[in-house]
Structure 1
Amino acid sequence: MDNLALIGMASIVTAGLTITIGSIGPALGEGKALAQALNAIAQQPDEAKNITRTLFVGMALVESTAIYCFVITLILIFANPFWNYFIEKAGG
């Protein structure tokens, strides 16, 4: 197996692990935040507007982690800086 194949396999495996682990954490965090927000709204219905606004800001921050992992995955698959180097060395 040549170096180009190893770089390709490592990039794909790393991209898969990045998107898998990077999606599970935010999903669990958002689920817990939503459950707590619904619980708080059930206990204090008159504060629903403030709770909802805070919930959406918090969920946006949590979701940004998953978006960063998605961007890293796209970079590893489509814009990997090692690809050009190894293709150039392989004579392609």
Structure 2
Amino acid sequence: MSSVAEVVGSTAAIGYGLAAIGPGVGVGLIFAAYIQSTARQPEAARITQPFMWIGFAVVEVLALLGIAFGFIWAGNPIQ
């Protein structure tokens, strides 16, 4: 029996695509919380801004780890 459609590719690409959703949502939540806190207390903006950048960096490291592990564990393509 012949197949009508054949899937060829790497599961690592699918895995990284799914792994990129988390950091995307995380960055959105971090900046939304910063904007909301600055709107509520504008005088505290200078105090909360470093925490925003630290949170942003931590979330982006997770995304970079996801792509690095995707390349490391690429394995064999689906056949």
Q: TM-score range by the shorter chain?
A: 0.7 to 0.9
Which structure would you say has the larger Rg?
1
- Cα displacement (A) at 1:48: 0.6
Q: TM-score, normalising length from structure 1?
A: 0.66
Greater percentage in helix: 1
Q: Which runs of 5+ in 1 are unaligned?
A: 1-8, 83-92
Structure with the bigger RCO (C-alpha within 8 Å, sep 6+) is: 2
2:17 pairs with 16, 20, 43, which one?
A: 20
Q: Which runs of 5+ in 2 are unaligned?
A: 1-7
Match of 1:30 in 2: 27
1:54 pairs with 41, 51, 56, which one?
A: 51
Moved over 6 A (4+): none
Q: TM-score, normalising length from structure 2?
A: 0.75
Identity of aligned residues (%): 25
- Cα displacement (A) at 1:70: 0.7
- What is the aligned length? 69
CA-atom RMSD, angstroms? 1.8
